[in-house]
A and B are shown apart, each in its own frame.
Chain A
Amino acid sequence: EIVLSQSPDFQSVTPKEKVTITCRASQSIDNLLHWYQQKPDQSPELIIKFASRSISGVPSRFSGSGSGTDFTLTINSLEAEDAATYYCLQSSSLPLTFGQGTKLEIK
């Protein structure tokens, strides 16, 4: 089973700040890494797929990078509506696995 480790677990940030969340895989997964945003009492929403591909309708301040075992989600100029928990997901092999999540709090 591929283990995904996210950091940090929690971050308190101010609006307009730049945020970086990392996801490290226990073995190489090429670019088969996807990012989701989950707000309270909602289902996860896909915000980046295949490590760096943007999703239609998702604000351009969200971007992703990485390949192999190390991946990064970047949120440029954070907005209040970005308060959520962010998860990475790998689809390289079964079982599909998620990172433990990074909770972003807006100050």
Chain B
Amino acid sequence: QAQLVESGGGLVQPGGSLRLSCSASGFSFSLYGMHWVRQAPGKGPEWVAFIRFDGSTKYYLESVKGRFSISRDNSKNTLFLQMNSLRLEDTAFYFCAKDESPRAYSVLDQWGRGTLVTVSS
């Protein structure tokens, strides 16, 4: 059974930076695409970014382009989300999720429990 554990969330001031990590186990991490999805408290989920199994292709939500960067280290079974120039509206739980496809975005079939990012002065 796949297990995904996020870390790195916390309180940050507007304009600040955070780096989220997602440690994967229970499946061949290097064979699957991965996503970050966020969910503001009391709201629905919002897709943020996707990375192909080999890291060669990345896609982003328009509102985070140029500020967020998704990456992965397949040797360490770890997914990352570097978040810069954080805004109040970036406040949310951030989930990493496994895609059932290696190359293209498809079905998010396993999710972590999330890490909370709070942007506040």
Contacts and interface: CB of A to CB of B under 8 A. Distances in A.
B112 A43 contact: yes
Contacts of A100: 44
A97 B47 contact: yes
Interface residues of B, number: 21
Interface of A is mostly: loop
A91 B105 contact: yes
A43 B113 contact: yes
B46 interface: yes
B62 interface: yes
B109 interface: yes
Given A94-B59, A95-B62, A44 B45 contact: yes
A96 B47 contact: yes
A87 interface: yes
Interface stretch (A16-24, A45-53, A64-72, A73-81): A45-53
A45 B111 contact: yes
Contact of B107 (A49, A87, A95): A49
A95 B61 contact: yes
B82 interface: no
Contacts, number: 49
A95 B108 CA distance: 14
Contacts of A89: 45, 108
B60 to A, nearest CB: 8
25 contacts: A34-B107, A36-B45, A43-B95, A43-B114, A44-B45, A44-B95, A44-B108, A45-B111, A46-B109, A49-B100, A49-B109, A50-B107, A55-B109, A87-B44, A91-B106, A91-B107, A95-B47, A96-B35, A96-B50, A96-B105, A97-B47, A98-B44, A98-B45, A98-B47, A101-B44
Given A36-B45, A94-B105, A97-B47, 19 more contacts: A34-B108, A43-B95, A44-B45, A44-B108, A46-B107, A46-B108, A46-B110, A50-B107, A55-B109, A89-B45, A91-B106, A94-B59, A95-B62, A96-B35, A96-B47, A96-B50, A96-B105, A98-B44, A98-B46
Interface of B: 35, 44-47, 50, 59, 61-62, 95, 100, 105-114
